[in-house]
Amino acid sequence: MNLAKLESTAREMVSGGRGILAMDESTGTCTSRFDKLGVPSTEENRLSYRSMLVTAEGLSEFISGAILFDETIRQSVNGDTPFATYLNDAGIVPGIKVDTGAKALAGHPGEKVTEGLDGLRERLQEYVSLGARFAKWRAVITIGDGIPSDACLMANAHGLARYAALCQEADVVPIVEPEVLMDGGHSIEQCRDVTHRTLKTVFQQLDNQGVVLSGIVLKPNMVLSGKECTEQAGVDEVARQTVDCFLDCVPASVPGVAFLSGGQTDEQATQHLNKMNQLGLNLPWYLTFSYGRALQQAPMKAWSGDNSKTVEVHQQILQRAEVNALASQGAV
Ligand code: 13P
């Protein structure tokens, strides 16, 4: 393991007032997003849209890294330059989603465990040869009646830790993503408790597997009211509860926290991040973004399957990237 390399890549991903573009939707997820716009999810369409996203001039001013899907890392931007090469040359660190999805956890109705450890060492070698410098693995935790169970938290945290250790062995920075979902009628306090339990379990398991925390990036949910909760916490409360929870659970040696947007509106995702960075606390980690939907909703809509809309798509992605880059500095 080349620790100096891991640490410098991790820092590059989270610092400098920039954040990460999550464009690693699996084909299934991408298809459901395209369906809403009435666009057929063909390989060609996915390539055209994703080529448009990364060719926005000046994107690297706001975006430090981009997470790709297996299909994309094997494709070339507009058919010319491989995605990872193109991004690297543009000053954006290329990364790859390596989990194979969240599957039903046996014996635990309503709960999931993320799979993808089998053959991961070999797959990482191939992704490194294709240019990937970091990876992502997403665990999904649902809040509900009597859940999450300890079994679900343990299984997911163990998977994340085994994945992270394999990444570091290959000099690939692991993005460790335990996502407590917004879905449901739970209160912000319930989200805080579950996020707390989740993060504690994840860091115990990372420690167990010998993962070096200075060479990871944490990608968590924010502490939010459930989507269907009648009482919605405001921006100040979300910022305060999220930072309080993290100060309790996230060791100072982690270089950065890059939040997922998780179904928040574009505006909420920006405001929450901005407020956390405005609290004036001397936090030990950078707080930035690794948004999928909150960066891509607007440009994807502007495209809507029409490849003549390059200017509009570029305008939208740059706008979303810039405002979130400002939020990562508390400057909105
Ligand atoms: P969202 O920001 O849309 O939640 O996506 C981030 C991501 O990469 C989920 O794994």
Give CA–CA dist 173/87, Å, rounded. 17
228 contacts 185 by C-beta, under 8 angstroms: yes
Rounded to the nearest whole angstrom, what is the distance from the C-alpha of residue 49 to the centroid of ligand 1? 18
pLDDT in tens, 96-122: 999 999 999 999 999 999 999 999 999
Instruction: Confirm whether 314 is domain-assigned.
Output: yes
Please tell me the distance from the alpha carbon of residue 41 to that of residue 47, in angstroms, as a whole number. 10
Q: Find out whether the beta carbon of 33 lies less than 6 Å from any atom of ligand 1.
A: no
- Angle between helix 310-327 and 293-303 (nearest 10): 160
Domain assignment of residue 303, yes or no: yes
51 lines ligand 1 (CB under 6 A): no
Q: Has residue 191 been placed in a domain? A: yes
The domain in which residue 193 lies consists of 3-327
**101 C-alpha to ligand 1 centroid (Å):** 13
Q: Is the CB of 264 under 6 A from ligand 1?
A: no
Identify whether 332 is part of a domain: no
Helix (H, G, I), strand (E, B) or coil at 231: coil
| pLDDT tens track, the chain, 332 positions | 999 999 999 999 999 999 999 999 999 999 999 999 999 999 999 999 999 999 999 999 999 999 999 999 999 999 999 999 999 999 999 999 999 999 999 999 999 999 999 999 999 999 999 999 999 999 999 999 999 999 999 999 999 999 999 999 999 999 999 999 999 999 999 999 999 999 999 999 999 999 999 999 999 999 999 999 999 999 999 999 999 999 999 999 999 999 999 999 999 999 999 999 999 999 999 999 999 999 999 999 999 999 999 999 999 999 999 999 999 999 99
* Cβ of 65 less than 6 Å from ligand 1: no
**103 an active-site residue?**
no
**256, amino acid identity:** G
And the tokens for 104? 């039903």
Asked whether residue 247 is domain-assigned, the answer is yes
| 258 bridge partner residues | 288
Choosing from 13, 100, 260 the residue with most ligand 1 atoms within 8 A of its CB, the one to mutate for a pocket test is 260
Catalytic residue from among 12, 25, 111, 177:
177
Q: What is the CATH number of the domain that holds 183?
A: 3.20.20.70
Q: What is the pLDDT of residues 143-172, one digit of tens each?
A: 999 999 999 999 999 999 999 999 999 999
324 lines ligand 1 (CB under 6 A): no
What's the CA gap between 1 and 18, in Å, rounded? 26
The model carries a pTM of 0.98
Ligand 1 pocket member 261 (CB < 6 A):
yes
**Which residue in 219, 231, 267, 301 is the catalytic one?**
219
**Does the annotation mark 219 as catalytic?**
yes
Number of domains in the chain: 1
